[in-house]
Amino acid sequence: MSETEFFHEIRPDQLNLFACLFCGQSFGWDALGQNEFQGWFVFEGQTHTAHLKQTPKGVFVRTSAPRSWFFRYFNLGLDLNQIISTFPNDPDIALALRRFKGLRVLAQDPWETLVSFIISQNNNIARIRLILRRMMRAFGGFPRPEDLLDTPLLKTIGLGYRAEYLTNLGRAVASGRFNPEELRDMSDRDAMRCLLSLHGVGPKVASCVLLYGYGRHGAFPVDVWLKRMAKPIDYGPYAGWAQLYLYALARGLDHL
């Protein structure tokens, strides 16, 4: 597999790789050193890997994916300062903004986020990562819809009761009842309804998929940590980004 290598100029306060990659929105990344990371991801239907190294002036990128992946994945077309300016005036948000400068919501592959966050329910991050690694090994890359049809195999991977959810998802795609691509053009409301029709997908998982997979920045996932944290206030048009800052604050970033 060919690799491309390049340098992207950007300051850490506009893109903080460690915060982005280890705040629970993606599960495929490992830290090699202080500011050096390696991981896998899906881009344009293919499983790829990348090696990233952050410096004060920018990021060295080496990846099997097309060069456009980096700009897309880290949402670099969006102005972080402008997004932050829409956040509500709240002491927790303010603290999180100071503590996690350069934290961005990622633009991940919709299928990858859907499968990953179905696995995430009532699960811990270490085990989510473990299961995804096992699936990658079993299927030679991120699982495709047809890979999910073998429930017994999924159970040997440690999916437990979630194996049934994934098999159901595989069948929904095979039958045409669910098509991840169709959600791109739907309204937030319709896309949400479509996701909720899937067995094993509730409001939390659907919100994560909409936010991290479909770029719906207002989607606001509430998990056990956010329940302790979030207040009944309006988090604005980038509520999902505000949520990520709150989540990072609630958990810290050293839990992986």
Residue with tokens 């997979």: 213
Q: Which of residues 31-70 bind DNA (CB under 7 A)?
A: none
Q: Which of residues 84-123 bind DNA (CB under 7 A)?
A: 117, 120-123
Q: Whose Cβ is closer to DNA: residue 61's or residue 247's?
A: 247
C-beta of 57: minimal distance to DNA in Å? 28
> Total number of residues binding DNA (CB under 7 A)?
40
Binding DNA (rule: CB under 7 A), the pick from 201, 210, 242, 249 is: 201
Q: Whose Cβ is closer to DNA: residue 125's or residue 149's?
A: 125
C-beta of 33: minimal distance to DNA in Å? 21
Which residues, in sequence order, are CB contacts of 25 under 8 Å at separation 6+? 105, 106, 108, 208, 212, 244
Residue 13 in tokens: 């306060």
Binding of DNA by 225 (CB under 7 A): yes
Residue with tokens 């997908």: 201
Q: Whose Cβ is closer to DNA: residue 83's or residue 208's?
A: 208
Q: Which of residues 116-175 bind DNA (CB under 7 A)?
A: 117, 120-128, 130, 155, 158-161
- Which residues of this protein are in contact with DNA, per CB under 7 A? 23-25, 117, 120-128, 130, 155, 158-161, 198-206, 208, 221-226, 243-244, 247, 251, 255
